[in-house]
Amino acid sequence: MNHIVNGLMAVNSNQDPVKKDDSLRNGFAQLVSMVLQILLVSVFGAWLWNNSVSKMFSGISKVNATQMYYLSLLIHILVPHS
């Protein structure tokens, strides 16, 4: 995420207009990619969790999309290269 912010900030600097347009396109593409990743993890991950994990283990309850996103965020904090 840090490289996304750096890429978007580079657009505001004084540089060649062609390079500036490429930086803006790359930053926008990375931003769209990040939003799609969050949506997929939240919705599809919650669906998988509710239809597989919660049915296999009786002590685990179902989750909603927000809880699934927070779980994936926690995993990325604990295991940075996952």
Number of other residues whose CB lies within 10 A of the CB of residue 33: 11
Averaged pLDDT score across all residues of the chain: 83
What is the number of alpha carbons within 13 Å of residue 65 lying toward its C-beta? 8
Domains in the chain: boundaries = 2-78
The string of pLDDT tens digits covering residues 35-55 is 999 999 999 999 999 999 988
Q: pLDDT-derived band of residue 24, with 50, 70 and 90 as boundaries?
A: confident
> What confidence score (pLDDT) does residue 68 get?
92
Integer Cα distance of 78 and 82 in angstroms: 9
The string of pLDDT tens digits covering residues 25-39 is 888 898 999 999 999
